[in-house]
Amino acid sequence: METILEVNNVVKQFGGFTALSGVKVNVHKGERLGLIGPNGSGKTTLINCISGAFTDYEGAIHFNGQDISKLKAHERTKRGIARSFQIPRPFSSMTVMENLLVPFAFVGGKDGPEQQAEAMEILRGMGLADKAFVQSNQLSQVELRKMELARAMAAKPKLLISDEAMAGLSGNEVDEVLEILFDLNKLGITIIMIEHIMQAVMKFSERVICLDAGKIICEGTPENIVKNPDVQRAYLGD
Amino acid sequence: MISLDLLFEAVLFGILLGCFYAAVSLGLSVAFGLLDVPYVAHPALLILGSYFTFLLSKTGIDPIICGLLLMPVFYVIGIALYRFYYETFERRSSDTGVRGLAFFFGIAFIIEVCLILVFGVDQRTVSATYIGSSLEIGEYRFPYRMLVAFGIAIFLTTLLTLYFSKTFNGRAIKAVGQDEGALRLMGANPVKIKQLAFGIATAVNALAGAMLIIVGPVEPAMDRIYIGRTFCVVVLAGLGSMSGTLVAGLILGIAESIVMMTLGASWAPAVSFGLLLLMLGIRPQGLFGR
Amino acid sequence: MNVNEYIFFAGFVILQFVVLATAWNILGGYAGYVNFGVPAFIAVGAYTAVVLFKSISAPLVVQIIGGGILAGLLGLTVGLLTLKLRGIFFSIATVAVVFILETVVMNWRYVGGATGLQLTRPQDLWIFDTYTRMLFFVMAVLAIGSVSIARYIQDSFLGRGLRAVRDSEEAAECSGVPTLKIKLIACTISGALMGIAGAPMPMYLSYIEPTATFNLNYSISALGMPIIGGTSHWIGPVIGALLLATIQQVVTVTVSNELNVLVVGVLLVLFVVLAPDGILGLIKKWKQSSK
Amino acid sequence: MDKIRRKILETGGAGLLAATVPTSMAFAQSAPVKIGMSMPQTGGLGAGGQAALIGLRMWVDDVNAKGGLLGRKVEFIVYDDQSNGANTPGIYTKLLDVDKVDILIAPYATNPTAPIMPLVKERGKLLMGNFSFQVNAKVQHDMWFNNAPWNDAKGWSEGFLEAGKNAGAKSIAIFAADAEFQQNLANGCREVVKNTDWNLVYDQNYPGNNTDFSSIIRSVRAARPEVVFVACYPNEAVAIMRSVNEIGLGSQVQIFGGGMVGLQFTPVMQSLGSLLNGVVNYNSYVPGMKFPGIEDFFKRYTERAIAAKVDPLGFYLPPFNYATGQMIEQAVNATKTFDNKRLADYLRRNEINTIVGPISFDKNGERSKPRMVQAQFRNIKDNDWEQFKNPGKQVVIWPAADKQGDVITPFDRARKAT
């Protein structure tokens, strides 16, 4: 299988505190990867390093074979890394459509009628078509989550990182979002999912990695992960 | 050209001046440094404190006592101000950036103009036995008013440092800056804590204001230059470090004093602001910042 | 033609504020970075003009262009220094710049230092009856110019990007917006326009002197006008400026004391608290409710 | 016809003095003559401006009580420029084009005045200057007349330095505020010093909003000057005198002061109190200077000033602003016209008697006979403004014409002297 993302011994420190100590991950094209771990285990730090929110870390990150370690976030987005946020960050002064047109404009370089049609397609795919011209601060929680995924899609990503896109959603809302992620994956987009809701991760992921205290404590298929004693210890404590 | 003992004396004056700068900045160090509120009205309230002191001292009370008496008043003002700020901006989270700044800038402006309307533009001073005379140690003479400033600065710094390290509320305030969630786990209400902190920050300003008018005459528009001085000290210190604030104040004071005696007094105002820009440019987290 | 000359004097000032408010809004309104240092940029414009006039007796147009360029560079520098940081740091930095430049000018004898400098206007009136009328016309052109720039930016990628930055800088980055770059562009343009607004001042007053030039009241106006008018749309600052500057002009020759300065401060606070989206916001609300 | 009406009015005026009939009636027939100006009533110059305004208003009332100018009531129009020169061009065009005033008076001080000079010249209008400094030197408007008792920069410090010379001084320290007026003062002093064999041991400008003068005074002391010339802002006088008292200047200092702006204003003098003793400083008027009618003026002034909560003594600006009115009055009555050209003409040619003595002008419209005095403060008590009314508190040491006593030196001795 061909590797799309290669995280090589990434170390990230905040002042004295080490958030990531030598994390090593390979992600394959088209893979559905689950990333789990207790609070403060470094999940979000890791994807911040991948998405480029942080660039001051040791180690290297390669994407599509190129070293992107020093690239700024927007440059990585241009190369095909898109993400959603744990706490949704809509462009609240804009309509949903305008939200999508930002990446169209700055990644694609166009925000004309075709792009708007395209954006509409994406929204339809997520069941947000009717909300297209609503100002985004009017949206419900689940709609916000979907819009963030839609906005990420508008950047035409090869790799999509979904950071707890299901936090605070009801059961069937979770399934809706899962559906969407599956569909996106079918389009050939590699997806890294960070999630607390276990059954969601297990249902979605082909492979699961468990972080604890800035280290990968184990990785494998959902089945063996749940059985893994380290994971249980990490979550439940001994 | 400049003799060594003169330079030495410049440093001594600088230390006194520096403590003074630290004292006027402590409140901001809490409000902006710890709570991250764009409290640009801080210097205006400082001047307000001076004017209240001026009024009180007319009754014959010693200005320092006036300052202490004013602290509870300012505490309440602070609480009210934060409440208002919270309800209108933080809660609605209607971009606190622009509006919050504009709000406090406007408040500062209103305070300034109101002071002018009430007291006029000419300066006010207070009199006390220790104003106008100085302590003589051999060749050296130290104005008592500056020594008072020195004392107040040390007093406030230690007080706040102890408060933030020893008491529960103090620690809570320090925590609220970093992580509200953790605070909730501690069973404290972040808003209440912030409110408390803001009250303290403003109360400190009352005493600092009293000290300001002891050190020198005060006029309403003075707050403008202190926007720069206080923020310079706080940024230099690294947000929210009390002892850092003292050190930063000293650095600024000594720098200004030396410039005054050597390069020429007319360049002094550029010092604080220059330092500030430099700091923002090369080490925005400040000398003692995380 | 015998139109009352006073109109042109008052008009000049009002139009100058239109330029200032519009300029401020390009960064403050669109991107949400508050510039307190407006007088610094005005002064750079004004003093550049003075130097150009004194040294090579450059014509007004050249003075204005020169002033614009230097003020733009100032914006760029301050931006490079602080636009990486949170907004408040940028704001504080701009205040710092005011005092630093004022100190420099105070010590710079060539431009008069603290004593100020009297300048004798050249008498080339072009097609105008009086110099003031020419200045009025020039300022009108500058106003139209800067408003069209603001309008163009608003509808362009740049405007879209700046709005994204204001709403969420992180999300903007992750949507491919080169945030630092566009902030720098905005800061430069905004600064340049403020410089342009300041450049005609020496000729208008035929005198230049630091304390008036570096007066922080410019800041409160330049930031108050857009916020009162409404920052989201290019017309907002224009409304705010026309309204407030006119009020100020009227008050100066009627009520005539500190109250006049108070007007802006109070209105500003009232608006940020009660009508965060300014007059435009109120109009929108009113339209919706009347529907 | 005009003559006759004036006759009627004069009697009317007289009657109105006796049985104060509402003025308006007295001027029933003729349109008022408008005198307009902008006066800084707020901002840095506000305090002085407000006091000056009382002086002018007193003249307006007096002249109207006498029946006005050429039988026309004087209407006085004043705006506030907030001490900001950027406001004055607009205000003066309004005065000219909207209010259509007949005679213009300049705002107090140089900064607000300078921007209106070209405008006034373009319009060929008479402008009565108001304590500004050499503002006409460049513009050369031949209808400008400054009421200030000084001429060029040198006039300021001559007397002060002379006193130093007599005390055998050979070295001088200068420190001045970074502001228009103070810089002009200091530059004058520097000029004079250049032409002496003195050596300038310290020369610094200090910035506004200076918190503490300890380090400045300390370095002055280190320079061991025999004369210390200070040109400061009213707002700094207190801080400076405190530091002088705290840090000390050394026993070698003969005289101290010279150009301290503010030592003419009651609030400052009062808050300084005994700290003033020994200081030699410039002034435009001090009690004991003999001018016809000035005592009466100050009696009336103080009443109005206290009511208006402004400087209750008003030695500095008010009498000279009243004099401005007197100049207009005399010129108008002599030329029987409001035509600015002819008024200017008259003022240039003739000497005018005012409550601050006879005034005549040079070709620049500045005083041809400057009458600045240097006076030394003596036995001043704390917190008592009334004391300054009495002669002997400020003893004129220069010029000879107004001299009231010899300067006491050295400074340390002068401070204790009673």
Query: Is D57 found in the same domain as D142?
Result: yes
Banded model confidence at residue C254, pLDDT cuts 50, 70, 90: confident
Banded model confidence at residue D26, pLDDT cuts 50, 70, 90: low
**Chains A and D physically touch (3 or more Cβ atom pairs below 8 Å):** no
Q: Which residue of chain D is at minimal alpha-carbon distance from C210?
A: D179
Query: Is D347 found in the same domain as D234?
Result: no
Query: Is D274 found in the same domain as D332?
Result: no
Structural contact between residues D259 and D282, judged by C-beta atoms closer than 8 angstroms:
yes
D77 in reach of chain C (CB within 8 A): no
| Whole-number pLDDT of residue C12 | 94
* Residue of C157, C170, C174, C280 to mutate when probing chain A, most A C-beta within 10 A: C174
DSSP C190-206: HHHHHHHHHTTHHHHHT
* Residue of D224, D246, D249 to mutate when probing chain B, most B C-beta within 10 A: D246
Least confident of B51-55, B131-135, C27-31, C276-280: B131-135
Residue D99 has pLDDT above 80, yes or no: yes
pTM reported for the whole predicted model: 0.90
Pair of tokens at residue D287: 């009690």
Chains that touch B (3 or more CB pairs under 8 A): C, D
Query: Is D380 found in the same domain as D307?
Result: no
Domain range for residue D235?
155-289+372-416
Query: Is D140 found in the same domain as D108?
Result: yes
SS3 track for chain D: CHHHHHHHHHHHHHHHHHCCCCHHHHCCCCCCEEEEEECCCCCCCHHHHHHHHHHHHHHHHHHHHCCCECCECEEEEEECCCCCHHHHHHHHHHHHHHCCCCEEECCCCHHHHHHHHHHHHHCCCCEEECCCCCCHHHHCCCCEEECCCCCCCHHHHHHHHHHHHHCCCCEEEEEEECCHHHHHHHHHHHHHHHCCCCEEEEEEEECCCCCCCHHHHHHHHHHCCCEEEEEECHHHHHHHHHHHHHHCCCCCCCEEEEEECCCCCHHHHHHHHHHHCCCEEEECCCCCCCCCCHHHHHHHHHHHHHHCCCCCCCCCCHHHHHHHHHHHHHHHHHHCCCCHHHHHHHHHHCCEEECCEEECECCCCCECCCCCEEEEECCCCCCCCHHHHCCCCEEEEECHHHCCCCCCCCHHHHHHCC
Chains that touch C (3 or more CB pairs under 8 A): A, B, D
Across B224-228, C44-48, D256-260, D402-406, which has the greatest mean pLDDT? C44-48
* Cβ–Cβ gap B264/D205 under 8 Å: yes
Please give, rounded to a whole number of angstroms, the shortest distance from the CA of B60 to a CA of chain C. 31
Query: Is D279 found in the same domain as D230?
Result: yes
Banded model confidence at residue B156, pLDDT cuts 50, 70, 90: very high
Average pLDDT in chain C: 91
Please give, rounded to a whole number of angstroms, the shortest distance from the CA of B163 to a CA of chain D. 30
Query: Is D90 found in the same domain as D39?
Result: yes
What are D's interface residues with B at a Cβ cutoff of 8 A? 42-44, 46-47, 175, 178, 204-207, 209-212, 214-216, 218-219, 222, 234-235, 238-239, 242-243, 245-248, 265, 267-268, 271, 275
Distance CA C135, CA D258 (A): 43
pLDDT one-digit tens code per residue, A169-192:
888 999 999 999 999 999 999 999
Residues on chain C touching D207 (C-beta within 8 angstroms): 103, 106
Q: Which domains are delineated in chain A?
A: 3-88+158-236 (3.40.50.300)
| Whole-number pLDDT of residue D158 | 86
D100 in reach of chain C (CB within 8 A): no
A157 in reach of chain C (CB within 8 A): no
Please give, rounded to a whole number of angstroms, the shortest distance from the CA of B134 to a CA of chain D. 5
Cross-strand bridge partners of residue A11: A58
D184 in reach of chain C (CB within 8 A): yes
Query: Is D12 found in the same domain as D136?
Result: yes
Other CB atoms within 10 A of residue B287 CB: 15
Please give, rounded to a whole number of angstroms, the shortest distance from the CA of D390 to a CA of chain B. 24
* Cβ–Cβ gap B99/C276 under 8 Å: yes
What are B's interface residues with D at a Cβ cutoff of 8 A? 3, 6, 9-10, 13-14, 16-17, 20, 116, 120-123, 125, 131-134, 141, 143-146, 215-217, 219, 222, 224-225, 257, 260-261, 264-269
Please give, rounded to a whole number of angstroms, the shortest distance from the CA of D240 to a CA of chain C. 20
In a domain, residue D362? The reply is no
In a domain, residue B130? The reply is yes
Least confident of A220-229, B85-94, C28-37, D335-344: B85-94
Residue D339 has pLDDT above 80, yes or no: yes
B·C CB contacts under 8 A: 128
| Whole-number pLDDT of residue C225 | 94
Residue C100 has pLDDT above 90, yes or no: yes
* Cβ–Cβ gap B219/D235 under 8 Å: yes
Please give, rounded to a whole number of angstroms, the shortest distance from the CA of A199 to a CA of chain C. 28
Task: From C223, C291, C277, C177, select the one nearest A135 (Cα to Cα).
Answer: C277
| Whole-number pLDDT of residue A68 | 94
Distance CA D167, CA A181 (A): 96
Residue with the bigger pLDDT between C87 and A150: it is: A150
In a domain, residue D191? The reply is yes
Q: Which residue type is seen at A160?
A: L
CA B3 to chain centre: 33
Residue C201 has pLDDT above 60, yes or no: yes
| Whole-number pLDDT of residue C178 | 96
In a domain, residue B275? The reply is no
Structural contact between residues D289 and D396, judged by C-beta atoms closer than 8 angstroms:
yes
Residues D219-228 have a mean pLDDT of 93
Q: First-to-last CA distance in chain A?
A: 37
Domain range for residue B148?
26-222
Residues on chain C touching A145 (C-beta within 8 angstroms): none
pLDDT one-digit tens code per residue, C120-167:
888 777 788 888 899 999 999 999 999 999 999 999 999 999 999 999
Task: From B228, B191, B176, select the one nearest B40 (Cα to Cα).
Answer: B228
In a domain, residue D366? The reply is no
Structural contact between residues B125 and D238, judged by C-beta atoms closer than 8 angstroms:
yes
Residues on chain B touching D179 (C-beta within 8 angstroms): none
Q: First-to-last CA distance in chain C?
A: 47
Q: Which residues contact B241 (CB under 8 A, 6 or more apart)?
A: B29, B33, B286, B288, B289
Nearest to D93 among C6, C207, C215 (CB): C6
Please give, rounded to a whole number of angstroms, the shortest distance from the CA of C113 to a CA of chain B. 11
Residue D21 has pLDDT above 50, yes or no: no
Query: Is D128 found in the same domain as D41?
Result: yes
Nearest to C269 among B98, B103, B116 (CB): B103
* Cβ–Cβ gap B106/C258 under 8 Å: no
Q: Which residue of chain A is at minimal alpha-carbon distance from C277?
A: A93
Query: Is D300 found in the same domain as D234?
Result: no
Our count of domains for chain B comes to 1
Which residues of chain A are under the pLDDT cut of 70? 236-238
Average pLDDT in chain D: 88
Structural contact between residues D40 and D29, judged by C-beta atoms closer than 8 angstroms:
no
* Cβ–Cβ gap D207/B268 under 8 Å: yes
| Whole-number pLDDT of residue D17 | 39
**Chains D and B physically touch (3 or more Cβ atom pairs below 8 Å):** yes
Query: Is D281 found in the same domain as D318?
Result: no
Residue D20 has pLDDT above 50, yes or no: no
**Chains C and A physically touch (3 or more Cβ atom pairs below 8 Å):** yes
Q: Which residue of chain C is at minimal alpha-carbon distance from D43?
A: C258
Residue C87 has pLDDT above 80, yes or no: yes
Nearest to A74 among C163, C176, C232 (CB): C176
| Whole-number pLDDT of residue D267 | 86
pLDDT one-digit tens code per residue, B77-123:
999 999 999 888 877 765 557 888 889 988 998 998 899 888 877 77
| Whole-number pLDDT of residue C124 | 74
Structural contact between residues C158 and A61, judged by C-beta atoms closer than 8 angstroms:
no
Least confident of C200-204, C272-276, D335-339: C272-276
Please give, rounded to a whole number of angstroms, the shortest distance from the CA of B15 to a CA of chain C. 23
- Alpha-carbon separation of residue A37 from A191, A209, C72, D69 (angstroms): 17, 8, 49, 95
In a domain, residue C225? The reply is no
Strand D227-232 and strand D255-260: the pairing is parallel
In a domain, residue D361? The reply is no
* Cβ–Cβ gap D235/B16 under 8 Å: no
Residues C9-36 have a mean pLDDT of 94
Using CA atoms of B154, B156, B159, B160 in order, give the dihedral in degrees to the nearest 10.
-120
| Whole-number pLDDT of residue D3 | 42
Our count of domains for chain C comes to 1
Residues C169-189 have a mean pLDDT of 95
D135 in reach of chain C (CB within 8 A): yes
In a domain, residue C261? The reply is no
* Residue of B119, B260, B262, B273 to mutate when probing chain D, most D C-beta within 10 A: B260
Residues on chain D touching C116 (C-beta within 8 angstroms): 110-111, 114, 180
* Residue of A50, A54, A89 to mutate when probing chain C, most C C-beta within 10 A: A89
* Cβ–Cβ gap C164/A151 under 8 Å: no
Our count of domains for chain D comes to 2
Nearest to D235 among B16, B123, B146 (CB): B123
* Cβ–Cβ gap C209/D114 under 8 Å: yes
* Cβ–Cβ gap D84/C204 under 8 Å: no
CATH number at residue D136: 3.40.50.2300
B3 in reach of chain C (CB within 8 A): no
In a domain, residue C175? The reply is yes
Give the three-state DSSP class for A24.
strand
Query: Is D132 found in the same domain as D69?
Result: yes
Average pLDDT in chain B: 87
B 43-82 → C contacts, CB under 8 A:
none
Residues on chain B touching D204 (C-beta within 8 angstroms): 264-266
Residue D106 has pLDDT above 90, yes or no: yes
Residues on chain A touching C173 (C-beta within 8 angstroms): 52-53, 72-74, 77
Task: From D106, D44, D104, D102, select the one nearest D233 (Cα to Cα).
Answer: D44
